[in-house]
Structure 1
Amino acid sequence: MDFLSENVYIDAGFQHLCESVFVRLCQIVGTSVQVAIRRETRDIAEMVKRRVEENDDVSVMESGSIREGFRLEGSDIDYMFWQNDHRVIFDMSQSEHYYTEDKTLILSDSSESPPGFTLLELLTPTTHRKVQSACVPMNDRFYISSSLYKQRTQSHYFPGSIGHGPCESGELPGGLEYDLAWCFACDFWPLSASYWINRCHSWPDREVVNEIVRNGCHFVPIGHPLGLHEHEEWRISFSLAEHKLVHSMNHCQFVTYGLLKIFLKEVIDKQSEETNKLLCSYHMKTVIFWVIQQNAVPLWCPQNLLAGFWVCFKLLLKWVYEGACPNFFIPENNLFLSKVHGSAQKELFLQLHGLYEKGLVCLLQSPSIKSYITNVLYNPRLSICANEDGMISECDLDKELFNEIVSNTSFSPQNLDHCVKYLHTIELMIGEPLTQYQVLVLQRSTANILQSTAFTLHNMYTNTGLNKQMYIADRMSCHMLKLAAKFGFISNMMYIAMFYCKTFRFREAMYITEMIKVKLAQPGLMYNQHVDPERYTEAVGGQSWSTKMRQAVACDISLNNYTCYIKELTPEQQIGFKLLGIPLFVVLHFVEFLCYRHIDTTLAQTALEELQVLVHHDQGLFVDDVSRDISWEILGICQQMTGNHQAALYSYQQSLTQYPLHNIQNATQMRIQDLHIT
């Protein structure tokens, strides 16, 4: 067991152990193919959104561990928002790059702030009330107060959300945590981080460095606790640069980063309650950035995985001993300054040193990887293959891919011009060098935009009295919906049925729903991650992803709230968020009910009963927890339409008790009032 001592020897036994842990970490963190899917699908979706943004739009950027490619248990969703027509500059000469008629300029003034922090002076007038109301006078100038801006922008849409650092934080059903931060964007690289550029000799490469510098930085609303203007200061955020750096790691480096995160959560944080909040995932990221850049590990490969981990751990131990964790971009910014000091620092050091003295045996305290270490110790001749090929089945890889595609293709065009802009943007991007995953994202995106365009076009010409234009618009809409169904998921056919229902072609709509039912009854169907792997592989194994999308994959229905799809849902669309996500089977029964009311009342009652059974008794297979508010709402609407007001009241009340993901509570209250039940 020499290779588990403090001195790590690179012998066959050690390499065997490293390979075993690497295999386990690929199961937890993901293989290089899985990580590539997660990143590339998000990259292309973000690129589409950036290219269609208007000057006065709110920009959104996903950051944090999920954006980096992790899907660890407990990984949170991080989003940064900023006003696209506001920009921060570092000196007045940079104002020449903007047309000040449509950009509000903000000057960064770090003269009185600690490294990594700054004051933001409003230079030009703003029409945004939240920015205006956050301004405070200082030295005959107006500065945007970080604490006031954070207060003004926190929405508390979801129950239980709290302020946490610069963010609004909370938890969605299923334990998924989120952080939302409103910030300001800057197109320039901060002077205080200019030394970092010259430090990049070996990693990252020059192309990555240039891209990072070209993309600038952000400012998040939190001041330094020891600064002169804590409530007015803003912290420079390098989130965009950090995810570029993580993406430039090789897979062994990324897996080591994952091991550090697991080690923090399962080992370090379990040492004592006094110290379990002192270190965070950001410190782990900072450690591995420094270790990679300083070439402290000569070879990053699966056979050397634990040597890389140990170097990172020793650097962390050194930082805790010194009470100084240097920010990767601005080393003068000590990330430990306000937390790791005094008796807590001493206690944390003693705990980490105790782990250090045990050597790599300390990893046995991690439940996630313990068995993989002991297997090697007790079975030294155990055959281990660290080759990633074969680590994940075709079905599981497809699940990952299609889930990422669905997550990254929910766009909300506001009008016909916006639809055309999306389509033109996608058309231009198809000619660019793309990965196979990104082509699929654009394929699915095109289907979704065509659907929005079809309904938008129809709504524009409804009731205009211009019969010829209405006829032309109708033909174009039908053509777009059928085209979308040809290269989208099975569920994309549902939009054709909704369109026929909306245009009073009830029998045609029912013909489409029957076709959908046949496809959904296939034993190999993949629906929202639910799938029988063997039957799925039998049905479409070995075929192209494009073929699998059309023949075996279905997902929930997204309704863009700028467009009317089903008039009975108008209040929910007007009041709720930009997108209503409704379970496919709920929409299917809903459309059947609406159509059969005009064809056969007995079949309408059957559709209502099927919807009722689904909403009342489904255990998450077809109606997941976050969709139950809108599902109960739709059931209530159908019951109200049949005159069963007592049942409708119960359904609406149930909708109000569900997690309010879609923000439709006001619409539900209006419907309850319309029942006139005392």
Structure 2
Amino acid sequence: MTTPTWLDLGKLSESVFMGLCHKVGCSQTVIMRREIVDFRDMMRTQVIHTREDIKMISGSTKEGFRLKESDLDVMFWPKDHYVVWDLDQAQNYDLSRKTLILCDSSDSLPGFALLELLTPTHRESVKNACIRINDRLYVSSFKYRQTTFSIVVTNSKEHGPCGSGVLFGVAEYDTAQCFVSDFWPPPASKWIDRCHTWPTPSIVDDIVRNGCHFVAIGHKLGKHADKEWRISFSLAEQKLVYSMNHCQFLTYGLLKLFLNESINNGLSDEDKLLCSYHMKTAVFWIIQRNTIPHWHPQYLLECFWVCFKLILKWVYEGVCPNFFIPENNMFLSKIHGEAQKNLFIRLYKLYEKGIVSLLRIPSIRSSVISVLKNPRQSVATNKHMLLSRVLFEINLLHELNSNKITTSDLKQCIRFLNDVEKLIILPLTQFQVLMLHRFIASILQSTVFLLHNVFTGFAQFKVYTSSVVNKQVYMYMAKTSNYMLKLAAKFGCISDTLHIVMFYYKTLRYKEALSVLKMTKAKLAQPYVVYVCYSNTKAAWYMFHQSLGGQSWSTKMRHAVAWDLILDNEICYINELVPEQMSGLQSENRVLLIPLYVVLHMLEVLCYRHVDPVRAQTALDNLQDLVHHDQREYIMKPKRDISWEILGICQQVTGNHQAALYSYQQSLRHKSHNIQTATLMRIQEIMTLMHGNQYYSR
């Protein structure tokens, strides 16, 4: 690396290391993220069996990154279909309950294979994807992808083996429909022999024991491009990333930033030939070859430069060997000819600039400039000084907020509540305990509203009964529901008290609902309360840390944490939102994300309407002022549609039809929740009412 003679590369490396800890995350933050996501996956797989498929978060989110460019990668595979590599492995399965698929890689390029269906399948998506080759039945990757890429999220676009899109206008996602194999691929058997120093034998055993997956895409240059499948090592890669020390992980992170903010900056999607997977592969090879003796903060830039030179070499040669199956050249179909030449020239220009090329990475530019301006200034890399406790708490609360698990299946809720004692005694980390508390609160809330739907015969939400419920049973249910919601509030945060308010409103107990609202508003008014995902002032976070520093996290959550409400669209909470929930479900939107203060003011309007019309108008004025004038302090852009919608609903029920019409029209300008069907229906209602009034006034 070209550096000025006066520059201390070690000091610069330490400064960049510290900058990356703030941008990517310190070791404690990354561990916390992984533990929470792993626990969420475990809960979905072992406790909440919501579908026939197993779901696993993969990619950068699973690895512990939360960069702006990182999308959400999710893999799905049927839990009763298994791929075997030879017929002897079939004896491990009950063929009356499992569908077996035989992998045939004999006529495919390395890393790819045909999948032959050995036993009958009950899944229509698999049946429809079957084709015959030489009197044998194979599952076509192209046909399978065509029928499944939008099965998770409607209107997804096909992107490689995935269905891709944007959720709520901000979160990019990739969903991949796969098959699983419990066995390690024979083409990757040499990888096991290569693992002399990294990873450790125990990690190698764990990786091999967990097998691999197959994703629905073939090699463009293969003989069976539309029929064959790619072998995926996503789970193995996640375990390898977990085994990295923090300097190795941040080197990988720096390469990702270098790729996104420098190499690919200004290029169209078609011209972006390198991807983060190539960066990760380079780090894997460098670690395993033991090319770098010291992975420490003062050597971070040397580590980065060694990896970059390897990528440069690969582009020059046109060969990027897959880490598990080196014979699989991942550049073969895209990086060759003129494209290869242009990419090499682009990379070599960056290489020639040496250390100056780091200034092209905005995320770490300040870390570089600070040392260039003051080369004698010391850089503290002690982990306790890298990231303040306050910043860690911000990351933790954001992680808990974004990993909520919901279910609308009453039987699953009851089964979970019966088994909750088994979960509590598990050896969980402190972060996983918080995640469990959040899950318990969510299940208790779902159970209450689902039970109420059953007893009241709310047919639109799947769970209803035609039997008559006597008053005694109903009163017992109401009493039990009160207890469950109050218990949920103890496990949750301030926002969870609004579920109590919604239930009281739903059961016509308006004064009790208003009493809880008054208590909630008093809690939210405290100076140490933090509103997760919004721009709290530094003073608020400081007060939070100082006022509750010695308290348990459960206490902090209960008294000083608030976040927006997440309502499952398959559960009726209050009747006023049913059209929006049904509209969302039509577009496969499982939830409504509603700003906390919008819900609070809405409930005030609805409750006071039955108790004190004057105060109802005051609450409506507060809601209108919030929605009209908020500058993303309490309402994020993806939640503008539902916020305008709720304002319109409150204006409509209080008789202000003209204002309601304007609010609904504003809601149509935003399309994050896909509630347009409900909005158009409400506009039609308003127009009918207004025309009727005009008619009678004549």
> Which TM-score applies when normalising by structure 1?
0.92
Q: 1:56 Cα shift? A: 4.8
Indicate yes or no: 2:553 matched with 1:542: no
| Equivalent residue in structure 2 for 1:566, among 570, 574, 579 | 574
Paired position in structure 2 for 1:516: 520
CA contact (8 A) 1:592 1:604 kept: yes
Indicate yes or no: 2:150 matched with 1:152: no
User: Per the alignment, do residues 641 and 535 of structure 1 end up closer, same or farther by CA in structure 2, a change over 3 Å counting?
Assistant: closer
Larger mean Cα displacement after TM superposition, 91-100 or 67-76: 91-100
Q: 1:21 Cα shift? A: 1.6
Q: 1:3 Cα shift? A: 7.2
Q: Distance in 1 between the 2:419 and 2:237 partners?
A: 27
Q: Distance in 2 between the 1:426 and 1:120 partners?
A: 40
Indicate yes or no: 2:619 matched with 1:612: no
Provide, for residues 640-678 of structure 1, a one-character-per-residue CA deviation record: whole Å limited to 9, x for no partner.
Answer: 333444443433333333123x33333334434444537
Indicate yes or no: 2:679 matched with 1:653: no
Q: 1:259 Cα shift? A: 1.1
Q: 1:549 Cα shift? A: 0.7
Larger mean Cα displacement after TM superposition, 532-541 or 197-206: 532-541
Larger mean Cα displacement after TM superposition, 403-412 or 626-635: 626-635
Indicate yes or no: 2:694 matched with 1:664: no
What's the RMSD between the two structures over aligned residues? 2.7
- SS of aligned partner of 1:658: coil
Larger mean Cα displacement after TM superposition, 446-455 or 126-135: 126-135
Task: Mark the runs of 5 or more structure 2 residues left unpaired by the alignment.
Answer: 458-467, 692-698
Q: Distance in 1 between the 2:107 and 2:176 partners?
A: 24
Q: 1:277 Cα shift? A: 1.3
Q: Distance in 2 between the 1:74 and 1:364 partners?
A: 19
Indicate yes or no: 2:516 matched with 1:504: no
CA contact (8 A) 1:59 1:82 kept: yes
| Equivalent residue in structure 2 for 1:555, among 536, 554, 563 | 563
Indicate yes or no: 2:592 matched with 1:593: no
Q: Give the percent of matched residue pairs that are identical in Structure 1 and Structure 2.
A: 55
User: Per the alignment, do residues 110 and 666 of structure 1 end up closer, same or farther by CA in structure 2, a change over 3 Å counting?
Assistant: farther
Paired position in structure 2 for 1:182: 177
Indicate yes or no: 2:331 matched with 1:336: yes
Give the number of equivalent residue pairs.
671
CA contact (8 A) 1:224 1:233 kept: yes
Q: Distance in 1 between the 2:263 and 2:187 partners?
A: 33
AA partner of residue 323 (structure 1): G
User: Per the alignment, do residues 245 and 650 of structure 1 end up closer, same or farther by CA in structure 2, a change over 3 Å counting?
Assistant: same
Q: Distance in 2 between the 1:275 and 1:447 partners?
A: 45
Task: Mark the runs of 5 or more structure 1 residues left unpaired by the alignment.
Answer: none
- SS of aligned partner of 2:362: coil
Q: Distance in 2 between the 1:480 and 1:422 partners?
A: 14
Q: Distance in 2 between the 1:572 and 1:269 partners?
A: 40
Q: How does 1:314-333 map to 2 (within 5 A)?
A: 314-333=309-328
User: Per the alignment, do residues 357 and 610 of structure 1 end up closer, same or farther by CA in structure 2, a change over 3 Å counting?
Assistant: closer
User: Per the alignment, do residues 676 and 301 of structure 1 end up closer, same or farther by CA in structure 2, a change over 3 Å counting?
Assistant: same
Indicate yes or no: 2:538 matched with 1:533: yes
| Equivalent residue in structure 1 for 2:118, among 114, 123, 127 | 123
Q: 1:569 Cα shift? A: 2.1
User: Per the alignment, do residues 633 and 100 of structure 1 end up closer, same or farther by CA in structure 2, a change over 3 Å counting?
Assistant: farther
Q: 1:468 Cα shift? A: 2.5
Paired position in structure 1 for 2:424: 430
| Equivalent residue in structure 2 for 1:447, among 422, 441, 449 | 441
Provide, for residues 369-414 of structure 1, a one-character-per-residue CA deviation record: whole Å limited to 9, x for no partner.
Answer: 3443343344332111111212223332211101101111232141
Q: Distance in 1 between the 2:14 and 2:75 partners?
A: 37
- SS of aligned partner of 1:67: helix
Q: Distance in 2 between the 1:351 and 1:303 partners?
A: 28
Paired position in structure 1 for 2:55: 60
Q: How does 1:339-358 map to 2 (within 5 A)?
A: 339-358=334-353
Q: Distance in 1 between the 2:162 and 2:142 partners?
A: 11
User: Per the alignment, do residues 157 and 293 of structure 1 end up closer, same or farther by CA in structure 2, a change over 3 Å counting?
Assistant: closer
Paired position in structure 2 for 1:474: 478
AA partner of residue 472 (structure 1): Y
Larger mean Cα displacement after TM superposition, 542-551 or 126-135: 126-135
Larger mean Cα displacement after TM superposition, 643-652 or 505-514: 643-652
- SS of aligned partner of 1:177: strand
Provide, for residues 509-534 of structure 1, a one-character-per-residue CA deviation record: whole Å limited to 9, x for no partner.
Answer: 00001111111122222112332332
Larger mean Cα displacement after TM superposition, 538-547 or 591-600: 538-547
Q: Distance in 1 between the 2:190 and 2:172 partners?
A: 35
AA partner of residue 195 (structure 2): C
Paired position in structure 2 for 1:483: 487
Q: Distance in 2 between the 1:342 and 1:641 partners?
A: 66
Q: Distance in 2 between the 1:173 and 1:409 partners?
A: 16
Paired position in structure 2 for 1:419: 413
AA partner of residue 666 (structure 1): T
AA partner of residue 396 (structure 1): L
Paired position in structure 2 for 1:138: 133
> Which TM-score applies when normalising by structure 2?
0.90
Q: 1:22 Cα shift? A: 1.0
- SS of aligned partner of 1:334: coil
AA partner of residue 503 (structure 1): T
Q: Distance in 1 between the 2:683 and 2:136 partners?
A: 51
Paired position in structure 2 for 1:603: 615
AA partner of residue 471 (structure 2): N
AA partner of residue 537 (structure 1): Y
Q: Distance in 2 between the 1:281 and 1:361 partners?
A: 22
| Equivalent residue in structure 1 for 2:647, among 620, 632, 635 | 635
Q: How does 1:84-99 map to 2 (within 5 A)?
A: 84-99=79-94
Paired position in structure 2 for 1:82: 77
- SS of aligned partner of 2:68: coil
Q: 1:420 Cα shift? A: 2.4
Q: Distance in 1 between the 2:339 and 2:621 partners?
A: 61
CA contact (8 A) 1:222 1:233 kept: yes
Q: Distance in 1 between the 2:652 and 2:302 partners?
A: 66
CA contact (8 A) 1:498 1:565 kept: yes
CA contact (8 A) 2:316 2:340 kept: yes
Q: 1:55 Cα shift? A: 8.7
User: Per the alignment, do residues 101 and 510 of structure 1 end up closer, same or farther by CA in structure 2, a change over 3 Å counting?
Assistant: farther
Paired position in structure 1 for 2:462: none
Q: Distance in 2 between the 1:273 and 1:649 partners?
A: 41
AA partner of residue 480 (structure 2): M
- SS of aligned partner of 1:4: coil
- SS of aligned partner of 1:347: helix
Indicate yes or no: 2:595 matched with 1:583: yes
- SS of aligned partner of 2:386: coil
